[in-house]
Structure 1
Amino acid sequence: MLYPNVEIVQRYPGNPILTPSDMPVAASGIYNSGVVRHNGRYVMLCRVESIDISNYFFVATSDDGYHFTVSPQPIPLPQDEAYRKYTDEMIYDPRITPLEGRYYITFAAHSSYGVRIALMSTQDFETFEWMGFISEPDNRNGVLFPEKIEGLYARLDRPLLQNDQGDIWVSYSPDLIFWGRSECVATHGKHGTWHWQKIGAGAAPIKTDQGWLVIFHAVHILARYHYVYHLGAMLLDPENPARVIARANAPILSPREPYERVGLTSNVAFTSGAVVEDDGEVKIYYGGADTVQCVATARLEDLIRACFER
């Protein structure tokens, strides 16, 4: 199918907004970061990969959402054996959800046991409360909804299938720790070649008059182990997010620019954060080529329309 040559999502001309050279430590990548508004400022929780392939989370702040200053030290994380046991390989892809007066941060915790979803929270991005691991292996791309649904906390996630494939699921919890009532929301491979391999939720779902707007990543393979990561959009039922109301049949953003096509992992656009402004503009924060942090903008109404028309 052919589509009009109209870009729904516009890349920021100053991309990338953060690079390894902006870090206070020697880094090989800063990307796939979560972003929210807090006390009138933009706060980014950055995934930073050091030159020895260790992973850290740094806080960065901005007045305009484009020019960020990175804190000199990473955030403190637990040092006990129970934490290290399931994070000894890497931690990555933080997503932030404002919920009930706190900010809840989900991220992937990787170890020799597999990958699990981890959870911590904060009120001020200065002190953090470790809450625990909230999934069995192998599961990642976990992100919380910003409000309860039918009295329960809800999250999207992506259990891994064979051959590194996976679909988006929804699960529910009474306490944020124990999860169940899981249902598949959206599958890979049935809506075009651009997500043959796997799909996963990105930023926290955005509540709209039309339903929950989910900006997700989708992967197809050009050759063996040559993945290409696109961004897509879908709308979920506000009361039953296992039901997809509408889903864009084409990507809203695909790797095109050099900073998206060349890096530690080529051809990657991967989002973990989005901020909706009062005027309806959506800032979509995404990692480019697993190396740099980027941002793009779109109108909220255009993203919703794309779910029905694109």
Structure 2
Amino acid sequence: MTTPRIPFVRHEHNPILTANDIPYECNTVFNGAACRFRDQYVLLLRVEGLDGHSHLTLAFSDDGYTFRVQEKPWVLPSDDPEFEPYERYGIEDPRITQVGDTYYITYTAYGPHGPRGAIGRTTDFVHFERVALATEVDNKDGVLFPETIDGDYVMLDRPAGFGGQSGSIWIARSPDLVHWGRARVLMSSRAGWSNSKLGASTPPIRTERGWLFLYHGVRVTGSGRLYRVGAALLDLECPERVIGYTPHFIFGPEEPYERTGDVPNVVFPCGQIVEPDGTLRIYYGAADTCIGVAEAPLDEIIELASRDPATIPTT
């Protein structure tokens, strides 16, 4: 059987969360991180207020489709002098990576100097502790690997890519989550469906074939930017080496709620969960306005990412 080019199937009741589901006044909800915690599905939502500034709110579910959103925001921009200048305009686009009993949350701190990658953590989804502002500006789309490699924490991020610039996915290492270095370009945009910039979407998953992660590619068109999704495989022992990727997109905006919104023509996964039956479930922001969920067999995504040798340019 031929593996389909677009393997993801949308949930029949998409979008699963809109601004109407948030129990307080807001503009939109989108780009939610995801994990399993104590037999529940957890979404960490980016909620944008009417002032245009974003914060993070928790939602819980028994089935992964119908969520109960908490009455109040969980993480607001910090008033700590170390963080306040860099979170003054909001905190955005979280991702969750579990390492042992700790859930690390990477997010974008946005302030007057531009966006920075930041890291926080929790063990109970009650208390939240900021760890570090991990990058300088302009940088976002940070995702952590779920285990250390050669004693190092490893992170994918996306410096640049603003103001019409091209943007590449980079990889960096840290001994302590605070001091990051040994950075190098991992994947860059190319002519075609991702001709403008790339960014990591979901944290890497360890598979027998390599570290699998989803990334978003942006194409500039005559009517604006178009955000779609690809997948890539990295070497398990040396994640700086790309061993396969999808030369075409495997998920893109098709439905009205993905085509129309505050930022049209966007699907932007930030959350994923691998189910016991091998289904990869992704939670994605649609048109920067709502959240959808889609599913595909994990093995099919791995197969698609394994088809092409690592020829994607890094310069």
TM-score tier after normalising by the smaller chain length: over 0.9
Query: Partners of 2:179 and 2:227 in 1: how far apart?
Result: 31
Query: Partners of 1:164 and 1:271 in 2: how far apart?
Result: 22
Q: Is the CA contact 2:161–2:197 (under 8 Å) kept in the aligned structure 1? A: no
Deviation sequence 1:8-50 (CA, Å, 0-9, x none) = 1111111001000000112221110100001111111000001
Rate the CA distance shift 1:4–1:118 in 2: closer, same or farther, 3 A. closer
Aligned twin of 1:50: 49
Query: Partners of 1:72 and 1:93 in 2: how far apart?
Result: 20
Aligned twin of 1:104: 104
Aligned twin of 2:305: 307
Q: Which runs of 5+ in 1 are unaligned?
A: none
Rate the CA distance shift 1:72–1:34 in 2: closer, same or farther, 3 A. same
TM-score of the pair, normalised by structure 1 = 0.95
Rate the CA distance shift 1:10–1:83 in 2: closer, same or farther, 3 A. same
Matches within 5 A, 1:90-169: 90-161=90-161, 163-169=164-170
TM-score of the pair, normalised by structure 2 = 0.93
Query: Partners of 1:52 and 1:112 in 2: how far apart?
Result: 15
* SS across alignment from 2:193: helix
Deviation sequence 1:177-218 (CA, Å, 0-9, x none) = 0000111111111xx511000011111101100000011111
Q: Superposition RMSD on alpha carbons, in Å?
A: 1.5
Amino acid at match of 1:16: P
* SS across alignment from 2:294: strand
| Aligned partner (choices 292, 296, 299) of residue 298 of structure 1 | 296
Q: Which runs of 5+ in 2 are unaligned?
A: 309-315
Aligned twin of 1:196: 195
Aligned twin of 2:313: none
**Structure 1 residues 79-88 or 227-236, which shifts more?**
79-88
Deviation sequence 1:41-100 (CA, Å, 0-9, x none) = 111100000122121100000011111110000114432233221111221100000013
Amino acid at match of 1:100: G
Aligned twin of 1:27: 26
* SS across alignment from 1:303: helix
Q: Is the CA contact 1:185–1:241 (under 8 Å) kept in the aligned structure 2? A: no
* SS across alignment from 1:259: helix
Deviation sequence 1:217-244 (CA, Å, 0-9, x none) = 11001127x1100011011111111111
Q: Is the CA contact 1:25–1:50 (under 8 Å) kept in the aligned structure 2? A: no
Give the CA deviation at 1:103.
Answer: 0.3
Q: Is the CA contact 2:97–2:203 (under 8 Å) kept in the aligned structure 1? A: yes
Deviation sequence 1:227-262 (CA, Å, 0-9, x none) = 100011011111111111111111110111001000
Query: Partners of 2:125 and 2:7 in 1: how far apart?
Result: 32
Q: Does 1:68 align with 2:67?
A: yes
Aligned twin of 2:213: 214
Amino acid at match of 1:136: E
Aligned twin of 1:185: 186
Query: Partners of 2:6 and 2:110 in 1: how far apart?
Result: 36
Q: Is the CA contact 2:5–2:250 (under 8 Å) kept in the aligned structure 1? A: no
Query: Partners of 1:106 and 1:135 in 2: how far apart?
Result: 11
